[in-house]
Chains A and B, each alone.
Chain A
Amino acid sequence: MLSIQEATIKFGGLTAVNQVSFNIPKGSIFGLIGPNGAGKTTLFNIISGVYAPTSGKIVFENKEIQGLPPHKINYLGISRTYQNINLFKKMTVLENVMVGCHSRTCEGLTSAILRTPKQRLEEASVIEKSMAILDFMNLTDKATQKASSLSYGEQRRLEISRAMASDPKLLLLDEPAAGMNGREKDELRETIQRISDRGITVLLVEHDMKLVMNVTHQICVLNYGKKIAEGDPESIQNHQEVITAYLGGGIDG
């Protein structure tokens, strides 16, 4: 579904991502791991359109998407969450998710002002769809609360809900487990599995090894911007270079 081909990005003298290539099969849960500073989030930013790579290609469903602006990439079917929570704080939980529906709706300014029947229908369906997603993510009872009033774990779930609202074919999750406790991480693993069961391909950047090993089908490991390993969880766990990259000895989890 997504093919990263020799993606490279240089910031001044620093090469943050160096000729990375891998393929994400459709319907899989794919993990991207590596020590801090390995270039994972930078690669995410390249895929989601925040940065254009210096060279290389990103091919999504046979279409080259590198260099496209983020909103176009969202329209094409890739959605993401962020490492730091990037919610619309002053909006309610429901409104946050409704914003996510933007690229799948089309009523413009005139129809909004005139409240045409078509527009009212669309608004109703947006609300319905958003509530359904909140239901899926167990946030229904928080729908009318301000996003800023949620607990940390709930906010992370809201980010995922919002990202799902655009009916993505590929969902990028940027360290979704950060700051979560054990129970929340178990719930997250379940959630990712349920998302995958819905047919959405998932690309996951994570530091929590237990979570990654338990939920992903395939993993790619980066270190200093370069790919050092790719394969299924078991082979990665026993991969010598990966173990040394994480400071020799056991991988934390």
Chain B
Amino acid sequence: MLETIKAKRWTFLFAILTLAVIAFMLRERYLSLILCFIAINSIAVTGLDVLFGYTGQVSFGHAAFYALGAYGSTLLSIRLGLPPLLTIVLGSLIATFFGIIIAFPASKLVKHFLSLLTIAFGQMVYMFVSVTDKLTNGFSGIIGIPRISMFGYTFKSTQSNFYLLLAVTILVLVVKQRIIHSRIGRAFIAIRENPHAASGMGINVRYYKIMAFAISAFLTGMAGAFYAHLVTFISPDSFMNTQSNLFMTMLLFGGIGTVTGPVIGSIILVVATELMQSFISYQMLIYAFFILAILFYFPNGIIGIYDHLKNLAISRKNRSKLTPANRSLSNQTSKEAD
């Protein structure tokens, strides 16, 4: 009882602190932009998490969906004059469509080949947008992408865009939470843990793998579309395999298979990227070391570290309640765990 009050107090303090930081950053355009990028990346990486964290299907080419959403929404709003809010949805659906198509072969392949398939797919989308000049303007990119407007109000300033993105991000996280704690989410995790047994328990593994791809593509595509309408200029450069690797890094850094992991990963890596602007030539090297650090020292990401510390704190507290007589017994049972 005392513990939950204590925990609630910490969460409350943490929330106040976060809001204070956000309010501070919103006073300045550049910092607001960073907040916007954090939100967009959170959505994109949440998409990747649904695929990799929950059904265990790796994707090293996720920038493809990001690009499909961005270019889809951009072209529809510029060429056809449709309102951005509509084109964002349509762009996301375009990404979803391709997600489903690629899911058919992908759901059959083993880890290694899935990696190659997703890399190849990522490359194909990148090459298509850079080479098909007539449609996408190639490497010169597309400028003048319209801002989002809703009920007559146009989101012109970076700050107002952030409020919109914040709302969308929260919505996405709530949806993800609901999916995880449902029959669908359990099916996803079962597939990740043991596809054989999942099948035996009545789960149509193929169907759910494809569903995961669709959801994942939709979310990351939507992030791409929001990105386009925020920065009003896109070019193939933002959608190379480095972007795919970045998404993966964010996910692993934050912690896969959690709701807050993608957000934490986004925060850390977006901030790190901005801080690295002066070291732009070292950028790849630093990302590489980020990845290696995760792989070797904390594969469960920041959330993993937090959980680990929490478990340590709990077991330490339990141990201090023991008398010498039952202390050895507790040692035995805690060795059995995990």
Binding site for B on A (CB under 8 A): 48, 50, 69-71, 74-75, 79-80, 82, 86-91, 95, 98-100, 102-105, 107-109, 112-113, 115, 119, 122-123, 126, 146, 148-149, 151, 162-163, 165-166
Contacts and interface: CB of A to CB of B under 8 A. Distances in A.
B179 interface: yes
B186 A99 contact: yes
B189 A91 contact: yes
A79 B187 CA distance: 16
B190 interface: yes
A102 B200 contact: no
Given A102-B183, A149-B336, A149-B338, A82 B197 contact: yes
Interface in B151-210: 175, 178-179, 182-187, 189-190, 193-194, 196-205
A112 B178 contact: yes
B184 A109 contact: yes
B337 interface: yes
A168 to B, nearest CB: 10
A231 to B, nearest CB: 30
| Chain B interface bracket (under 10, 10 to 19, 20 to 34, 35 or more) | 20 to 34
Given A91-B193, A113-B179, A99 B199 contact: no
A112 B203 CA distance: 16
Contacts of B203: 71, 99, 102-103
A127 B65 CA distance: 36
Contacts of A86: 194, 196-197, 200
A113 B178 contact: yes
B286 to A, nearest CB: 31
Contacts of A90: 189, 193
Interface in B266-301: none
20 contacts: A50-B196, A50-B200, A71-B201, A71-B205, A75-B202, A79-B201, A82-B196, A88-B193, A88-B194, A89-B193, A95-B189, A98-B186, A99-B201, A103-B201, A103-B202, A115-B178, A119-B182, A122-B183, A163-B201, A166-B201
A109 to B, nearest CB: 6
Nearest to A147: B193
Nearest to A96: B190
B211 interface: yes
Nearest to B194: A86
Contacts of A119: 182
A90 B304 CA distance: 13
Nearest to A151: B336
Given A82-B197, A107-B182, A109-B184, 19 more contacts: A71-B205, A75-B202, A79-B200, A87-B194, A88-B198, A89-B193, A90-B189, A99-B187, A100-B201, A100-B202, A102-B187, A102-B190, A102-B202, A103-B201, A115-B178, A122-B183, A123-B183, A149-B336, A151-B336
A151 B205 CA distance: 29
A207 B199 CA distance: 26
Nearest to A114: B178
A148 B338 CA distance: 6
Counting chain B CB atoms within 10 Å of each CB, which of A82, A102, A108, A151 scores highest? A102
